[in-house]
Structure 1
Amino acid sequence: MAVEGQGSDLVQVVALLGAAVVAVPLFKRMGLGSVLGYLAAGLAIGPFGLRLFSDAQAILHFAELGVVMFLFVIGLEMQPSRLWGLRREIFGLGAAQVALCGGLLTGIGILWGAPPAMAFVAAMGFVLSSTAIAMQLLDERGETSTPAGQKIVSILLLEDLAIVPLLAIVAFLAPAASDTGWNQRVIDMALAVGAIVGLVVAGRWLLNPLFRLLAAARAREIMTAAALLVVLGAALLMQLGGLSMAMGAFLAGVLLSESTFRHQLEADIEPFRGILLGLFFLAVGMSLDFRVIGQAWPVIMGAVGLYMAVKSLGIYMIARVLKADHREAITRAALMAQGGEFAFVLYSAAAGVGIFDAQTNAILTATVILSMALTPLLTLAVRRLTPAGSQSMADVDTADELSGTVLMIGFGRFGQVASQALLARGFEVAIIENDTEMIRSAADFGFKVYYGDGTRLDILATSGAGRAKAVLVCIDKVEASNRIVELMRAEYPLTRLFVRAFDREHALHLIEAGVDFHIRETFESAMAFGQAALVELGVPVEEAAEITDDVRRRDEERLELQATGGIYAGTDLMRGNVPRPGPLTQPKRHGQVVCGETATPLDEAQLPERAPQRA
């Protein structure tokens, strides 16, 4: 029997991992995101799918550790000074959104016929957005560190904090509340304050000495164990104090954010965080009770649609009042329209003290889970249907009858460096750029940059392309760069054309187009980088320079060979569908080291298809 039990456990573990491995890449490939993939996988293997699991709540309770670790990693990125800088967003924007959305949803519940206490608790549970889903979607889109993303993070932090007073309010609203309950509430508040103070003291004066001691032992597995101990210990301390485990982990992360061990902690926690967070989403999918939905589907569907619509409206209103543009406001509303994992805690507490009956708790829990499942689809729809906001042209001059010895198109990092020598020598440089924020930033440093799209012939004409002695194309988009080259060669063939190449394939295309000069954007910096590494490793300076010059010469010869060969031009070069050029000299190898004086430089055309190079 023991063997059978172990085998059954192993089957469940394999089922969890297999469902995630199959569903997540499939959903991401369809553009639906990993969260929806996890939810669908959980639904497929749960009690109402293949029935490989019968107790989804047990898995959900364990998987909440993924949310805890996620908040710890976020805390590591939030230095106290940065967190203090977000105080207005946390306690201003966050509190305003919670208050307005809570009021609106409470009104909906009362109009629906629910008692005021029940309507309030149901509304506030739905107001607490899912930190796990919102942060995962932000992270997938690379927007966590953007100003808009930081505002969402701030609101989520306030909502996590709000669970503490909300649980106290639930106890106060309990039908069986008595005078003796006040003594218990005072004790609970004291425990909460004590837990916070204890965590702050430990984080400030104990954790760094502990990690220094462990680091001196040079036992990597002990450092990993210590990282897990910090996260889980902070979560446990907060739970014992009646607070949110996730908030305890977040606070621990903040306290360690300026530690010299911050990056080591993040690296140790990251694998556990990713697996457990995925497990959390799987468990949420399993928890969707189709029996409850089948019995009360009109109520649940109506609650999902109405609650999400009204909450989105409240979020949008607050965002617009506080000066967010339309696109940012509607994106925030879609991202935070759902109820979250803390609703389960609040609803369970309400059921425990008699505010909800079992049926109401099941209906509201199903409502929250459905809203969480719909959020990735809603954000995807908003992203595709909402056009990108137009750029503000305030304080920006458009390119109109410019004149200059040189016309520079694009003023990013590459263009800024390239312009300095020309300006230092006294050449008149006309600069156009289609990013208004970049134009304003350049103005702060004394550069006059005009707004203009170099892919348009009329803009090239008014920017002085026909009068300039040279046109420098410094943009980083291959298609736009090729379009400018095509227009310049057709309309202004006598103007000297200097172009920034994105990679080797692009460089071959530019050679074929007949530009006067091109350079791969990372090539020379990589050459200098490699030469410096040689010198630092003990190679004499003169020899390092000779090796670098030899590598550069061979690369130029190979590039010329590929360009004149014809068959090496275009995309076939990167696809590996053409014969590979033979080496100019055969490299000598010692183990894994290639001798510099006789080595043939690495050719992207000789690389496997799965690893295309962008050098």
Structure 2
Amino acid sequence: MPLMINGDPLLSTVVLLSAGVAGLAVARYARISPIVGFFILGAIIGPDLLGLIDRHTQTIHFLGELGVSFLLFDIGLHLSLRELRREWRRFFLAGFFQFLAVASVLSLLIHLLGVAAPSAMVLGAILSLSSTALVLKILSDEREDSSPAGKRATEVLVFQDITAILLLVLLTGDLSKGISFDALGEPLLKMLLAAGSVILIGRLALKPLFGLLLSIKSDEVITAFALLLVFLASWGTQSLGLSLALGAFLGGLALSESSYSYLVRAEVAPFRSLLLSLFFLSVGINLSLPAIIDNLWLLAALLAAFSAAKVAANWIAFRAAGIERGLGTLLAFLLAQGSEFAFVLLAAGFSAGIIDSYSLNLGVSLVGLSLAVTPFLAAIGCFSSRSVCHVSHEKNAEADDAREVIIVRIDEFGRQLASLLEAERIPYRAHDNDLQRLAYAKSRGLNVFYSDIHRPRTLGRVSLGKALAVVSLHEEEHIIHPLIEGLQKIDRTLPVIAATESPARLELYTSLGLEHVFIKNEASIPAMFEALLRSLGFQESRIEESLSRALQLLQPEGLYPQVGSKIAAEAAA
């Protein structure tokens, strides 16, 4: 007999947390994504195997929805209203093209399978959406959430989440009169009211409130208030008949321009990680194993067709939106799954009489399986994006006359620094002679070029006066000597900053006359970024703002994020 989660909450909580720990262990032992481990353990403890948790229990779905809400709150914290106003065309084009292309292709394929046109259109629109929770978790695990690929994926996913809310409003409304202003007008007005209210309150009330709370000097008060913000914003939109996730996103967006956004993100990070784990477990619990086994070959064929169609349509849409080929290929595979919102939308379509029970069960199974295979698709996308990516050589960059920061060697440390420069719109270019490192960085959308120290493209740009500063990340001593000495011969006033993995090479850089030399680790990135900004002549207020944003992007995600945050803050002090 299944153990109902509301029958014995304590025992059910033990089961869920135990499944989470076991999921991580299985993933580590099998060398697969932790997300897949959560799916597997969710299916095991679900009603079709051990029967420990009932899939119809509302509590686990509510906790999973809270996890998605905390995730969207974090997304809102990372977005900037100022940047959205400036880049709204790019934000709208990529998201709209992706939704239009994928929904059209999937609707056509579903209609060709014999489904009526109205139902096919609704199913195509629902299945065109991608999983915000899953994709951003993968990007975070790979430390790509602040890279150009991470930012583009986030933009598309936020557009999709807004689209999902509109679809839910449509499907839960009165469709007897068709799609009209009467059906959508009131919910749209509610969305605008909620957005305006949350952002206005965030601008006017939160700053003095945070000032008051910080004067109390209690970590517990800050944590409690950060959680209150998420729950209050979510409750506000839910009370208007909208989704929890919309309120959480708006709450994060309201705080995004605040100097306290970094502090709030550190406080809610552990709760977000825990609740997201419960969401992934709930996906596994909702997988109907008998239905999957009975329709195994059909589902396998549908999953292959669905994934291929979505990858192809994604790629076409992203290229049409002006995204370069390597980055577009990575995003096409990364966004090739169904959405967590699809479970709610499919149920709403069934209740509205648009989707029949067979399509509902098949759709739920298909979306669940697509979520399970996403880590493997992401790996394929990573490999494919490197393969199609043509690294630009020296002759391809001659037309660019802008002065820029030059990064010599694009390893992981260099990629993080380049992402920070991207975020601050500081022109840069990275040079390397390792094709594997170049292809990997290029597939992430970074501005990289091939350069050989024996034919030093770097020194050529310096001699033409096109370098604002040079950052050397080289580890080979036979390259460090001619590079630094060559730079000093050309222009002794040029800022040169270096970082290395070895204390011995740190002494070498120092002996060559460099003032700013760092050991490569997570804590030194903010300090190096600050030194670079000062060498570029930035004003103190701009440096503080840029460093605050950099610390948000470099927020350590681990068991103790607050501790990591303090280390990073101390390194930048």
Aligned match of 2:153: 152
Alignment of 1:44 onto 2:40: no
Alignment of 1:268 onto 2:267: yes
**Residues 10 and 321 of structure 1: is their aligned pair in 2 closer, same or farther, counting only changes over 3 Å?**
same
Q: Is the 8 A contact 2:198 2:251 kept in 1?
A: yes
* CA-CA distance at 1:397 after TM superposition: 8.4
Q: Is the 8 A contact 2:43 2:284 kept in 1?
A: yes
C-alpha distance in 2 between matches for 1:103 and 1:53:
38
* CA-CA distance at 1:106 after TM superposition: 0.7
C-alpha distance in 2 between matches for 1:161 and 1:506:
50
Aligned match of 1:53: 53
* CA-CA distance at 1:354 after TM superposition: 1.2
Aligned match of 1:200: 199
C-alpha distance in 1 between matches for 2:352 and 2:499:
68
Q: Is the 8 A contact 2:5 2:12 kept in 1?
A: no
**Residues 384 and 192 of structure 1: is their aligned pair in 2 closer, same or farther, counting only changes over 3 Å?**
closer
* CA-CA distance at 1:119 after TM superposition: 0.8
Tell me the amino acid that sits aligned with residue 90 of structure 2.
E
* CA-CA distance at 1:114 after TM superposition: 0.6
Instruction: Give the secondary structure class of the aligned counterpart of 1:44.
Output: helix
C-alpha distance in 1 between matches for 2:104 and 2:222:
47
What does 1:454-493 correspond to in 2, within 5 Å?
454=453, 476=473, 478=475, 481=476
* CA-CA distance at 1:451 after TM superposition: 5.8
Aligned match of 1:123: 124
Unaligned 5+ segments in structure 1 are 399-408, 416-431, 440-448, 464-473, 486-498, 511-515, 530-615
1:232-281 CA distance string (max 9 Å, x none): 12112222333332222112111111223222211211111110011111
1:490-512 CA distance string (max 9 Å, x none): xxxxxxxxx9863248789x9xx
Tell me the amino acid that sits aligned with residue 136 of structure 1.
K
**Residues 74 and 316 of structure 1: is their aligned pair in 2 closer, same or farther, counting only changes over 3 Å?**
same
Q: Which of structures 1 and 2 has the bigger CA Rg?
A: 1
Instruction: Give the secondary structure class of the aligned counterpart of 1:128.
Output: coil
1:534-584 CA distance string (max 9 Å, x none): xxxxxxxxxxxxxxxxxxxxxxxxxxxxxxxxxxxxxxxxxxxxxxxxxxx
Which residue, out of 505, 515, 518, partners 1:522? 518
**Residues 180 and 164 of structure 1: is their aligned pair in 2 closer, same or farther, counting only changes over 3 Å?**
closer
Q: Is the 8 A contact 2:173 2:183 kept in 1?
A: no
* CA-CA distance at 1:435 after TM superposition: 8.2
Q: Is the 8 A contact 2:77 2:265 kept in 1?
A: yes
1:487-533 CA distance string (max 9 Å, x none): xxxxxxxxxxxx9863248789x9xxxxx999995379x9xx9xxxx
C-alpha distance in 2 between matches for 1:237 and 1:163:
18
* CA-CA distance at 1:26 after TM superposition: 4.7
C-alpha distance in 2 between matches for 1:433 and 1:104:
40
* CA-CA distance at 1:192 after TM superposition: 3.4
Q: Is the 8 A contact 2:346 2:360 kept in 1?
A: yes
Aligned match of 1:375: 374
C-alpha distance in 1 between matches for 2:268 and 2:42:
24
Tell me the amino acid that sits aligned with residue 366 of structure 1.
S
Aligned match of 2:133: 132
Q: Is the 8 A contact 2:392 2:450 kept in 1?
A: no
Tell me the amino acid that sits aligned with residue 47 of structure 1.
P
**Residues 315 and 50 of structure 1: is their aligned pair in 2 closer, same or farther, counting only changes over 3 Å?**
same
Aligned match of 1:244: 243
* CA-CA distance at 1:321 after TM superposition: 2.5
Aligned match of 2:63: 62
Q: Is the 8 A contact 1:410 1:434 kept in 2?
A: no
1:9-43 CA distance string (max 9 Å, x none): 43432332233223325525755322222222222
C-alpha distance in 1 between matches for 2:138 and 2:337:
13
**Residues 452 and 18 of structure 1: is their aligned pair in 2 closer, same or farther, counting only changes over 3 Å?**
same
What does 1:240-389 correspond to in 2, within 5 Å?
240-384=239-383, 386-387=385-386, 389=389
**Residues 263 and 451 of structure 1: is their aligned pair in 2 closer, same or farther, counting only changes over 3 Å?**
closer
* CA-CA distance at 1:320 after TM superposition: 2.1
Instruction: Give the secondary structure class of the aligned counterpart of 1:331.
Output: helix
Q: Is the 8 A contact 2:499 2:517 kept in 1?
A: yes
C-alpha distance in 2 between matches for 1:292 and 1:249:
35
Q: Is the 8 A contact 2:77 2:256 kept in 1?
A: yes
Higher relative CO (CA 8 A, sep ≥ 6), structure 1 or 2? 2
* CA-CA distance at 1:301 after TM superposition: 2.8
C-alpha distance in 2 between matches for 1:353 and 1:6:
29
Aligned match of 1:228: 227
C-alpha distance in 2 between matches for 1:178 and 1:452:
64
**Residues 257 and 386 of structure 1: is their aligned pair in 2 closer, same or farther, counting only changes over 3 Å?**
closer
Q: Is the 8 A contact 2:97 2:318 kept in 1?
A: no
* CA-CA distance at 1:185 after TM superposition: 5.2
Q: Is the 8 A contact 1:90 1:157 kept in 2?
A: no
Aligned match of 1:488: none
C-alpha distance in 2 between matches for 1:77 and 1:368:
28
Matched residues, number: 454
**Residues 173 and 308 of structure 1: is their aligned pair in 2 closer, same or farther, counting only changes over 3 Å?**
farther
C-alpha distance in 2 between matches for 1:411 and 1:136:
28
C-alpha distance in 2 between matches for 1:500 and 1:224:
36
What does 1:596-611 correspond to in 2, within 5 Å?
none
C-alpha distance in 2 between matches for 1:106 and 1:397:
43
Q: Is the 8 A contact 2:170 2:183 kept in 1?
A: no
Instruction: Give the secondary structure class of the aligned counterpart of 2:376.
Output: helix
* CA-CA distance at 1:284 after TM superposition: 0.8
Tell me the amino acid that sits aligned with residue 350 of structure 2.
A
1:452-498 CA distance string (max 9 Å, x none): 435xxx879xx9xxxxxxxxxx96455xx27869xxxxxxxxxxxxx
Tell me the amino acid that sits aligned with residue 522 of structure 1.
F
Alignment of 1:10 onto 2:10: yes
C-alpha distance in 1 between matches for 2:500 and 2:252:
42
Aligned match of 1:545: none
Aligned match of 1:95: 96
Tell me the amino acid that sits aligned with residue 86 of structure 1.
E
C-alpha distance in 2 between matches for 1:18 and 1:355:
39
* CA-CA distance at 1:340 after TM superposition: 0.4
Q: Is the 8 A contact 2:119 2:355 kept in 1?
A: yes
Q: Is the 8 A contact 1:60 1:284 kept in 2?
A: no
Pick which of 301-310 and 384-393 moved more: 384-393
**Residues 153 and 397 of structure 1: is their aligned pair in 2 closer, same or farther, counting only changes over 3 Å?**
closer
C-alpha distance in 1 between matches for 2:152 and 2:113:
32
**Residues 180 and 135 of structure 1: is their aligned pair in 2 closer, same or farther, counting only changes over 3 Å?**
closer
Tell me the amino acid that sits aligned with residue 20 of structure 1.
G
1:292-348 CA distance string (max 9 Å, x none): 223433443333222221111110111223333332222111110011011112111
C-alpha distance in 2 between matches for 1:110 and 1:323:
30
Q: Is the 8 A contact 1:236 1:245 kept in 2?
A: yes
C-alpha distance in 2 between matches for 1:385 and 1:145:
21
Instruction: Give the secondary structure class of the aligned counterpart of 1:522.
Output: strand
Instruction: Give the secondary structure class of the aligned counterpart of 1:259.
Output: coil
Q: Is the 8 A contact 1:56 1:286 kept in 2?
A: no
Q: Is the 8 A contact 2:42 2:285 kept in 1?
A: yes
Q: Could you state the TM-score of these two structures normalised by the residue count of structure 2?
A: 0.69
Aligned match of 1:75: 76
Q: Is the 8 A contact 1:476 1:502 kept in 2?
A: no
Instruction: Give the secondary structure class of the aligned counterpart of 1:368.
Output: helix
Tell me the amino acid that sits aligned with residue 226 of structure 1.
F
1:51-75 CA distance string (max 9 Å, x none): 2212365313321111111111121
Instruction: Give the secondary structure class of the aligned counterpart of 2:295.
Output: helix
C-alpha distance in 2 between matches for 1:360 and 1:332:
28
**Residues 518 and 35 of structure 1: is their aligned pair in 2 closer, same or farther, counting only changes over 3 Å?**
farther
C-alpha distance in 2 between matches for 1:195 and 1:20:
35
Q: Is the 8 A contact 1:160 1:244 kept in 2?
A: no
C-alpha distance in 1 between matches for 2:94 and 2:479:
45
**Residues 321 and 229 of structure 1: is their aligned pair in 2 closer, same or farther, counting only changes over 3 Å?**
same
C-alpha distance in 1 between matches for 2:97 and 2:512:
57
C-alpha distance in 2 between matches for 1:166 and 1:179:
13
Tell me the amino acid that sits aligned with residue 137 of structure 2.
Q
C-alpha distance in 2 between matches for 1:507 and 1:119:
63
